[in-house]
Structure 1
């Protein structure tokens, strides 16, 4: 008789355990595959350049998550030819905004990330400039991660304009082996511009 009473209790306990696991997987991100492909595509399609930010700070944990996303990018022969400068000093941010014609918003951002190539890890010969592709891939990862986290960000170009490279290197007192590719101002969006639909089937060539 007692065993019959235990059966419903066991079933209830199992049901609760299954429900708890399901909730954990759905809400905690414990399963790396919990995000769907449609979520990824939606994030890519809705990302846009954000140039105005609120005064709310971006914490270190968030910045670290962005940097991890950047360093997850593919690289030629796994050279990982990059360094990333994180800039919070307000005077440095203002100085960068003054010398970079398309980065005026850098003065008001919560933080800047400056992805750089590392000459010591460049490939030799014809592959030397592959670092540009590698660091560009890292930059796009950072932009997509920022958007996914509700942040606003914009890619402002530095490389290959020599004056901009020299100015950014001087202001940030960069290592002589580091070449700034771009400056990424990041903050919580103060506006919400509509993303541009750039799909154009006429630019696809099939063979």
Structure 2
């Protein structure tokens, strides 16, 4: 295993954060990782917000259906995509994953909270004053983990096939 695969395999969703603030270097570098994500036709259709305000974090948490823990995060990243870009969802999902891995490389915990197709997406766009040409793809609350409890993963052999699928 090399350093990159170790980072990928070591990442787990974190929903409980300590109250410590995040170093701005971690935030900046993670965003740099996000904007280096692969993107169809190199359109880079994303807009990434970094929310530090305790008031805004609480408002975002209150609006989401599965993100109440956002209120306790040090920051929350809001990844938006240009609605008219054909592959905005794929591109912004790649950027979200790069962001999450960039944070994890610094020991910062996070959790992907859905935005695309959620009823609250438009409300959050307006709350954050994001132009109409963008739509919410994901929220990534982040902070220093209070605890790390790795999820059990399925065995790889049960999720892959070679050449064509053969039912057992």
- 1:54-203 map, 5 Å: 54-119=18-83, 122=85, 128=86, 130-161=87-118, 163-203=119-159
* Larger Rg belongs to: 1
Query: How far did 1:195 drift?
Result: 4.2
Q: Is this contact kept in 2: 1:154–1:186, CA < 8 A? A: yes
**5+ residue gaps, structure 1:** 1-36, 123-127
Structure (1/2) with the larger helix percentage: 1
Q: Distance in 2 between matches of 1:158 and 1:63?
A: 20
- Alignment of 1:205 with 2:161, yes or no, is yes
Q: Distance in 1 between matches of 2:105 and 2:139?
A: 19
**5+ residue gaps, structure 2:** 164-168
Q: CA RMSD in A?
A: 1.3
Q: Distance in 2 between matches of 1:198 and 1:155?
A: 19
TM-score, scaled to structure 2: 0.91
TM-score, scaled to structure 1: 0.75
Q: Distance in 2 between matches of 1:156 and 1:66?
A: 17
Query: How far did 1:203 drift?
Result: 2.2
Match of 1:47? 11
Q: Is this contact kept in 2: 1:111–1:187, CA < 8 A? A: yes
Of structures 1 and 2, the one with the larger relative CO (CA 8 A, separation 6+) is 2
Query: How far did 1:198 drift?
Result: 3.5
